[in-house]
Amino acid sequence: MSANLTRRLRTAAAAAVLSAATVIPLALTTTAAHAATRVDNPFVGAGVYVNPEWSANAAAEPGGSAIANQPTFVWLDRIAAINGVNGGMGLRDHLNAAVKQAAGKPYVFQVVIYDLPGRDCAALASNGELGPTDLPRYQSEFIDPIAAILADPAYANLRIVTTVELDSLPNLTTNAGGTATSTPNCETMKANGNYVKGVGYALAKLGAIPNVYNYVDAGHHGWLGWDSNMQPAIDVIKQAATASGSTLNNVQGFVVNTANYGALHEPNFTVADTVNGTSVRQSKWVDWNQYVDEASFAKAWRTKAIASGFNSNIGMIIDTSRNGWGGANRPAGPGPKTTVDAYVDGGRIDRRFQTGNWCNQSGAGLGERPKAAPEDGIAAYVWVKPPGESDGASQAVANDEGKGFDAMCDPTYTGNARNNNNMSGALPNAPLAGHWFSAQFQELLKNAYPALGTSTGDTTAPTAPTGLAATTTSSSVSLTWTASTDNVGVTGYDVYRGGTLIGSTNNTSYTDTGLTASTAYSYTVKAKDAAGNVSAASAALSATTTAGGTTDTTAPTAPTNLAATTTSSSATLTWGASTDNVGVTGYNVYRGGTLIGSTTSTSYTDSGLTASTAYSYTVKAKDAAGNLSAAAAVTATTQAGTSTGAGCTATYKVSSDWGAGFNADITVTAGNTAIKSWKVTWTYGGNQQITNLWNGTVSQSGQSVTVNNAGYNGTVAANGSTSFGFGANYSGSNAVPTLTCTATS
């Protein structure tokens, strides 16, 4: 990020909520000055267009007037939308309204460009009007008319922010090229290149307009957060940004979480946490992802994009229209540290069944209100998806918009490979994508976080952080402090070195790296709240780095006493800690010479193994200078599997429990004879009531529950197993019941 962008992102004025009534003047001498030259961050010091059509829909809803003046994006999702559909406002109508709202002051107009040929190849609800080979129509009938209108001198004083072609390029990364989740439509679009060519054409045409700022879609953390996805996705976008006559200069930044539900911050756990020696990354929810929320994902994406050649002043915008996850089900704190899944599921604020679920999610709420420069590296929180507009229909609906039926919008759907076969979590009775969905709007109001009325108007700053302390190496200072308190909730902390902002975090710790050995540094920390207020600074702390610098070549000692305990499907390794002159930072674990994981503790569990099989493990220590120790080695043989005789057995496991409800997993195991169908029954001792169940069919009468196999998982091989799971509500006791399993062979 350039020095100018850093400075602009962190001004107090920049944190103002964006609305038609909130305009912060820039130091400009003429109204045309801000149109002539692009600024690093178009949102700073500017008002933002409020769409009158969306505003009217919101205001007509009970309670909707509380947010009806918030700025949202205008969606151009088909050719007809350029001139207006069914008597509605077209692009010129919106731009003319924006000019009136601006009244000669700096003003942002936000628009979604969304009509690629073969659009959204991995879904159906958002299919478009153009076929896979309709690139010429896309260029001449969609992009060219839009570019001609945006280039009109009448709109030269607006800062026009575009989000370019949602989902398209990320789909080429994860759903094409022979991946496990590839679809025929995505394979077609990868082969013909029309996504890359189309996005390049759009960027070239729109980027040639001086007051247009292009932000390219970058998916979300639950899609592209894995190492195997993020860099390849950036590479594909770079390919598109340099196709069809475009250059990287036509990209002003990226947008994440568009029309999605990923939490902005997960306050109750981090990706670095461990539970009983098991990394949070091994939990079912995180599933080895590197990121647990959108803010950390966006910042990492920006760093990697700049390293890949994009301009250093690019910014990130995050769609916060539906990721608040407030309401009665929002966890008040971390989950129990009994298992890693209980810890994550009990504390995560994102209450979806799985991060791949995207359609009209039950329990979702409005997130942060649109705001300029809310944290370091983030240009703005925005509402790309207008709250109350459907993601897709719950059932097939005949239409002339090219929109199909996607099972992920059906609340009874039990999932697919892209969401690890979880329930869809969708609301019932939804209309077509983009159509007004009153029930969803009311759901978002009910579960808003910050709650309605707390994001604006609040002037009470958080308390200053206390207890600032530091540990040092020759090249880093690791700071910790005691959490601040605030009436609307602390959202993060800004860290300053020598009075200069160096980073932000939503945790109570921060590591400053790349420092000089044997040097004293002064630090202060300030807290931020949900309304944008900043606390007084903590007491200043002076920390001196140790001697040695970055030329340390002394490796840690090898781990000692490496040992293993096994079950039929896992091996738990333990070892004695290593020592090092600059400090041991963690351990790498290898199976058969292949790295399978890392940990900061002296234990690691490798699961999903085969019974009665020998596995070879080695462990190496890492130090703060990046050196690796020699390896410690051990061979571990898993135990034999268990046999249960004819019929079947079933085991019951509560995977998460948040006091008012819980999720449970049931494993059904066949005996020595293969079975063709199974049934599991039990009787609850309390008032547990199952609300949804996957991979089976359920009937419940009072406390008695019966679950029969689904059509696809009734047949189980001898000594094999299958599983089903469910969510339930309860109050009082939640004791584990005794199960009875019967089968036919």
User: Strand 614-623 to strand 584-591: parallel, antiparallel, or no bridges (unpaired)?
Assistant: antiparallel
What is the 3-state composition of the chain as percent helix, strand, coil, each rounded to the nearest 5?
A: 20, 30, 50
The residues carrying an active-site annotation are 120
**Is residue 646's pLDDT more than 90?**
no
pLDDT tens per residue, range 138-167: 999 999 999 999 999 999 999 999 999 998
* Contact call for residues 67 and 387 (beta carbons, < 8 A): yes
pLDDT of residue 27: 27
CA distances from 19 to 67, 262, 370 (A): 10, 24, 8
> What's the mean pLDDT in 236-245?
96
What is the residue-averaged pLDDT of the chain?
87
Tokens of 648: 């079947």
User: Cα(716)–Cα(724) distance, rounded to whole angstroms?
Assistant: 13
**Higher pLDDT among residues 460 and 581, named by residue:** 581
CA distances from 594 to 90, 561, 616, 619 (A): 57, 21, 10, 11
* Contact call for residues 635 and 616 (beta carbons, < 8 A): yes
CA dihedral sign, ordered 236, 240, 242, 248? negative
pLDDT tens per residue, range 74-128: 999 999 999 998 889 999 999 999 999 998 889 999 999 999 999 888 877 667 7
pLDDT of residue 516: 85
Q: Which CATH architecture has domain 466-543?
A: Sandwich (2.60)
Which residues, in sequence order, are bridge partners of residue 83?
A: none
CA distances from 526 to 261, 476, 520, 556, 615 (A): 28, 20, 20, 36, 49
Q: What is the DSSP letter of 730?
A: -
User: Strand 677-683 to strand 739-744: parallel, antiparallel, or no bridges (unpaired)?
Assistant: antiparallel
With 0-12 / 13-18 / 19 or more C-beta atoms within 10 angstroms meaning exposed / middle / buried, residue 294 is: buried
Q: How close are the terminal C-alpha atoms of the chain, in Å?
A: 65
For residue 330, what pLDDT band results from cuts at 50, 70 and 90? very high
pLDDT of residue 25: 29
For residue 548, what pLDDT band results from cuts at 50, 70 and 90? low
User: Cα(223)–Cα(229) distance, rounded to whole angstroms?
Assistant: 8
**Is residue 560's pLDDT more than 90?**
yes
**Is residue 287's pLDDT more than 50?**
yes
pLDDT of residue 10: 26
**Is residue 70's pLDDT more than 50?**
yes
pLDDT of residue 437: 96
Q: Which residue, among 541, 375, 521, 376, has the nearest Cα to 464 in the 3D structure?
A: 541
Tokens of 530: 């949900």
pLDDT tens per residue, range 524-533: 999 887 666 7
User: Cα(311)–Cα(325) distance, rounded to whole angstroms?
Assistant: 34
* Contact call for residues 49 and 72 (beta carbons, < 8 A): no
Tokens of 540: 């200043």
Helices marked H in 579-649 — which ranges? none
pLDDT of residue 505: 77
Helices marked H in 447-531 — which ranges? none
Q: Which of 314-318, 371-375, 679-683 ranks highest by mean pLDDT?
A: 314-318
> What's the mean pLDDT in 505-531?
84
* Contact call for residues 245 and 200 (beta carbons, < 8 A): yes
Tokens of 293: 């929320």
> Within a 10 A sphere around the Cβ of 353, how many other Cβ atoms?
22
> What's the mean pLDDT in 331-336?
92
Which residues, in sequence order, are bridge partners of residue 232?
A: none
SS3 109: strand
**Is residue 492's pLDDT more than 80?**
no
> What's the mean pLDDT in 358-365?
94
Residue 676's identity, in one-letter code, is K
For residue 568, what pLDDT band results from cuts at 50, 70 and 90? confident
SS3 537: coil
**Higher pLDDT among residues 490 and 62, named by residue:** 62
SS3 476: coil
CATH superfamily assigned to domain 560-637: Immunoglobulins (2.60.40.10)
Where along the chain do its domains lie?
Answer: 3-446, 466-543, 560-637, 648-744
pLDDT of residue 624: 82
With 0-12 / 13-18 / 19 or more C-beta atoms within 10 angstroms meaning exposed / middle / buried, residue 224 is: buried
**Is residue 276's pLDDT more than 70?**
yes
Q: What is the DSSP letter of 342?
A: H
Tokens of 346: 């009990």
Q: Provide the CATH number for the domain formed by 3-446 in this structure.
A: 3.20.20.40
User: Cα(26)–Cα(44) distance, rounded to whole angstroms?
Assistant: 9
With 0-12 / 13-18 / 19 or more C-beta atoms within 10 angstroms meaning exposed / middle / buried, residue 137 is: middle
Same fold, 3-446 and 466-543: no
What radius of gyration, in Å, describes the C-alpha atoms of the chain?
Answer: 27
pLDDT of residue 529: 72
* Contact call for residues 223 and 170 (beta carbons, < 8 A): yes
User: Cα(168)–Cα(251) distance, rounded to whole angstroms?
Assistant: 16
Q: Which CATH architecture has domain 648-744?
A: Sandwich (2.60)
pLDDT tens per residue, range 657-705: 777 788 888 999 988 888 999 999 999 888 899 988 888 899 988 899 9
Helices marked H in 405-556 — which ranges? 438-446
Tell me the backbone φ, ψ of residue 197, rounded to 5 degrees.
Answer: -65, -40
**Is residue 486's pLDDT more than 80?**
no
Which residues, in sequence order, are bridge partners of residue 667?
A: 651, 723
SS3 304: helix
pLDDT of residue 221: 96
The DSSP result for 412-440, as a single string, is: T----GGGTT----BPSS--STTSB-HHH
Percent of the chain with pLDDT over 70: 92
pLDDT tens per residue, range 576-613: 999 998 889 899 999 888 888 888 889 998 877 776 78
pTM, full prediction: 0.61
pLDDT of residue 502: 80
* Contact call for residues 214 and 248 (beta carbons, < 8 A): no
> Within a 10 A sphere around the Cβ of 458, how many other Cβ atoms?
17
Percent of the chain with pLDDT over 90: 55
User: Cα(601)–Cα(578) distance, rounded to whole angstroms?
Assistant: 11
For residue 1, what pLDDT band results from cuts at 50, 70 and 90? very low
User: Cα(143)–Cα(194) distance, rounded to whole angstroms?
Assistant: 14
User: Strand 107-113 to strand 158-164: parallel, antiparallel, or no bridges (unpaired)?
Assistant: parallel
The DSSP result for 40-86, as a single string, is: S-TTTT-EE---HHHHHHHHTSTTGGGTTTS--PEEE-SGGGGT-ST
Q: Locate tokens 């050649």: which residue? A: 309
User: Cα(206)–Cα(148) distance, rounded to whole angstroms?
Assistant: 9
* Contact call for residues 494 and 504 (beta carbons, < 8 A): yes
User: Cα(11)–Cα(372) distance, rounded to whole angstroms?
Assistant: 10
CA distances from 642 to 43, 344, 412, 719 (A): 62, 30, 35, 8
Q: Locate tokens 């939490």: which residue? A: 263
* Contact call for residues 2 and 38 (beta carbons, < 8 A): no
User: Cα(439)–Cα(446) distance, rounded to whole angstroms?
Assistant: 11
User: Cα(617)–Cα(594) distance, rounded to whole angstroms?
Assistant: 9
pLDDT of residue 319: 97
CA distances from 284 to 31, 161, 280, 345, 440 (A): 53, 37, 9, 9, 27
